[in-house]
Structure 1
Amino acid sequence: MSARGKARNRALDILFEAEQRAVTPYSVIQERRLHTEQTINAYTVEVVEGVTALQSTIDEFLTTYSQGWTLDRMPNVDRIILRIGTWELLYNEDVPDSVAVSEAVSLARTLSTDDSPSFINGLLGRLKDLKPSLLA
């Protein structure tokens, strides 16, 4: 796994833990820095900060374009993978669109249900097609 892939995975862990514990992702990062030897990659922090700052807009896009699925109905890990993938796709110019989608699908293959990769691929693919109008 690439350094960015590991950073993405760690960002997912932080965002998931924050959601499960109903705390901010920043407090999770702070706790890990204070109570573990774990080094938190700069890209992990960038992803967490980006997703957190734009979460309401990202969630609005996901709600609007996920046909038949509300955010609450999605498995927690899928929702967080979609948030990361959407942030990278729409707001991180350093990540090519196809890489943002394929990395999100890869996370889903590893961490979620058998149906999740195709769902995530379809939804992010739709956002990729709509990207110019979403960011206009």
Structure 2
Amino acid sequence: MSERRQDYKRHGSRYKARMRAVDILFEAESRDVDPVAIIDDRHKLARDTNPIVAPVAEYTETIINGVAVELDTLDVFLAEHIAETWTLGRLPSVDRAILRVASWEMIYNTDVPVTTAIVEAVEIASQYSGDKSSAYINATLDAMASKVETLRERAANPEAVLAEASESLDDAPVAPWDDSDALDDSDALDDSDEDFESVDAAEVFEAEETVEVSEVAEDSEVSKVSEEKADES
């Protein structure tokens, strides 16, 4: 009975609201739609005579609206605290969703203890993703937690945050497990090979042309010498 009670506390209503927020953010990115529009659709479907979806919890909607409004600022902060061997833009979509939910809670919802936001994000990652994701998400959020007050102050002026972002979020190295763009990388390599070959071909042509001119000049010199010898004779 005590184990069941502990599990209930661990996976209470807010935990479920966070999980559904992650689901919706993941779906929105996969379909390239506004997550707020998905919330509106869920509300309509839940009001049907025979509803096919569960109503959206109030806290889920709060998270989604908050992340949608502050997305650019959140992504800048996440990119700043990402390890050098990772990149936000190339992480699995579900990991991005988890990071965005947790970072929004840490920075914009001061009613939630920072530790709670981190612990529950890692727990969701362990259910939705893998061990590497849990460890990476934990490290990133811990780094943000160490300077959360500074991040909150900066978040009050989002224009300045975006202006300070000097690099694109996709400029950092690829996450170690991510092979989603392997084909693109190989295509890029093919393109660079074509350029390389065309440059080589031009150089070879130019070199051959130079050799031809040299050979013609040499032939002319040989002919001239032969003619002079013939005249002397």
- TM-score over 0.5 (shorter chain): yes
Pick one of 19, 30, 39 that aligns with 1:29: 39
Structure-2 residue corresponding to 1:47:
63
Which is higher, the Rg of structure 1 or of structure 2? 2
Tell me by how many angstroms 1:113 deviates: 1.5
Pick one of 113, 118, 122 that aligns with 2:130: 113
Query: For residue 133 of structure 2, what is the amino acid of its counterpart?
Result: S
Q: What is the RMSD of the two structures over their aligned residues, measured on CA atoms?
A: 1.1
Query: For residue 14 of structure 2, what is the amino acid of its counterpart?
Result: R
Tell me by how many angstroms 1:34 deviates: 2.0
Query: For residue 135 of structure 1, what is the amino acid of its counterpart?
Result: R
Query: For residue 62 of structure 1, what is the amino acid of its counterpart?
Result: L
Pick one of 92, 102, 114 that aligns with 1:85: 102
Tell me by how many angstroms 1:35 deviates: 2.7
TM-score with structure 1 length normalisation? 0.95
Tell me by how many angstroms 1:132 deviates: 1.8
SS in 1 for 2:70: helix
How many percent of aligned residue pairs carry the same amino acid?
41
Distance 1:54 1:113 in 2: 27
Unaligned runs of 5+ in 2: 1-10, 154-233
Kindly indicate whether the alpha-carbon contact (under 8 Å) linking 2:36 and 2:68 is maintained by their aligned counterparts in 1.
no
Is residue 130 from structure 1 mapped to residue 140 from structure 2 by the alignment?
Answer: no
Structure-2 residue corresponding to 1:12:
22
How many matched pairs?
A: 136
Unaligned runs of 5+ in 1: none
Tell me by how many angstroms 1:5 deviates: 0.6
- Please give the per-residue CA displacement for 1:52-97, whole angstroms capped at 9, x wherever unaligned: 1111000001111102222221111111100001011111111001
Structure-1 residue corresponding to 2:75:
59
Distance 2:124 2:31 in 1: 22
Tell me by how many angstroms 1:135 deviates: 2.2
- Please give the per-residue CA displacement for 1:8-29, whole angstroms capped at 9, x wherever unaligned: 1111111111111011012111
Query: For residue 78 of structure 1, what is the amino acid of its counterpart?
Result: D
